Amino acid sequence: MLVSATEMLKKAKAGHYAVGQFNINNLEWTKAILQTAQECNSPVILGVSEGAGKYMTGYKTVVGMVNGMLEEMNITVPVALHLDHGSYEGCLKCVEAGFSSIMFDGSHYPIEENVAKTKELVKICAEHGMSLEAEVGSIGGEEDGVVGAGECADPNECKMIADLGIDFLAAGIGNIHGKYPANWQGLSFETLDAIQQLTGEMPLVLHGGTGIPADMIKKAIDLGVSKINVNTECQLAFAAATREYVEAGKDQQGKGYDPRKLLAPGAEAIKATVKEKMELFGSVNKA
């Protein structure tokens, strides 16, 4: 059964480790992440972006697939199904579809509007036993070749949103989605520390987990980060393993073209990536 992410992240914050959110794109991704979480005895959060939700034909399909897998694969570790960077409308759709957690990304609204919309969702999530993540300070990333610098959130605005009754807070601390550029300045621990001092017990979320050096990840966890999102790294690992298979001509040997064979190396690569992250984040055996 799916659970909200509230309990697992409270435990993570108190225990000084972080739970990974790994984004899913299809059946292979979901299966690989669930298998790894079970093998590592780790809690896990499956992230679904609005784009990935559409790709999988809609949120109801995702809920059906994940619930089916939890049962058929005998998954016993805590699993949350979480909307990643949701719009207000997307959040409502996921509540209806049976997600157990949502992120409302109101970071592009003026703070008053972010507050008003987040407040409404706090009420709706409470009614459904779901967890809610909110965001302050937009998280940059590469779009059409233009790299946006990771913004640093205003700690006072973080406190304002944290006090609305959300369950965990994403705050920009110089992190960005996708690969980090060579001239990246690194995470702003000063900002993170200031946010953590004002928000206290609130679990903090680090987006853009791909490519952040291990020592920075550990320091971020020390300063109150309890959830780390990883997406691109699984995509890169999947693509590289699939490329290797095809370049070695394996799809042309025997029945190597069978999708169950063709996609297997990529799935194994995702499993290895997720395991490595769970070890780094300290969530192994924390189920």
**Given the complex with ligand 13P, which of 177 and 286 has the nearer CB atom?**
177
According to DSSP, the β-strands at 168-171 and 146-147 are unpaired
- Given the rule CB under 6 A, which of 51-59, 69-77, 126-134, 224-232 is the region that contacts ligand 13P? 224-232
**Given the complex with ligand 13P, which of 195 and 245 has the nearer CB atom?**
195
Among 53, 174, 203, 209, binds ligand 13P (CB under 6 A): 209
According to DSSP, the β-strands at 79-86 and 140-143 are unpaired
**Given the complex with ligand 13P, which of 84 and 167 has the nearer CB atom?**
84
Among 230, 269, 270, 278, binds ligand 13P (CB under 6 A): 230
**Given the complex with ligand 13P, which of 245 and 273 has the nearer CB atom?**
273
**What residues between 61 and 90 interact with ligand 13P by CB under 6 A?**
84-85
Annotated catalytic residues are 84
Neighbours of 282 (CB within 10 A): 18
- Helix 59-72 with 27-40: angle, nearest 10 deg: 40
**Residue 184 is a binding residue for ligand 13P (CB under 6 A):** no
Among 25, 118, 210, 283, binds ligand 13P (CB under 6 A): 210
**Residue 207 is a binding residue for ligand 13P (CB under 6 A):** yes
Would you say 227 and 281 are in contact if contact means Cβ atoms under 8 Å apart?
no
**Residue 50 is a binding residue for ligand 13P (CB under 6 A):** no
Separation between Cα atoms, residue 43 and residue 77, nearest integer Å: 6
Sequence-ordered list of residues with C-beta below 8 angstroms from that of 266, at least 6 positions apart, any chain: 28, 237, 238, 239, 241, 242, 245
Name the DSSP class of 137. S
Neighbours of 279 (CB within 10 A): 12
**Residue 25 is a binding residue for ligand 13P (CB under 6 A):** no
Sequence-ordered list of residues with C-beta below 8 angstroms from that of 109, at least 6 positions apart, any chain: 117
Sequence-ordered list of residues with C-beta below 8 angstroms from that of 263, at least 6 positions apart, any chain: 28, 242
As measured in angstroms, the least distance from the Cβ of 103 to ligand 13P is 8
Among 101, 188, 229, 273, binds ligand 13P (CB under 6 A): 229
Size of the site for ligand 13P (CB under 6 A): 15
**Residue 273 is a binding residue for ligand 13P (CB under 6 A):** no
Among 31, 159, 177, 277, binds ligand 13P (CB under 6 A): 177
Closest to 229 in 3D by CA, of 185, 153, 177: 177
**Residue 208 is a binding residue for ligand 13P (CB under 6 A):** yes
Q: Which residues bind ligand 13P (CB under 6 A)?
A: 23, 47, 84-85, 177-178, 207-210, 229-233
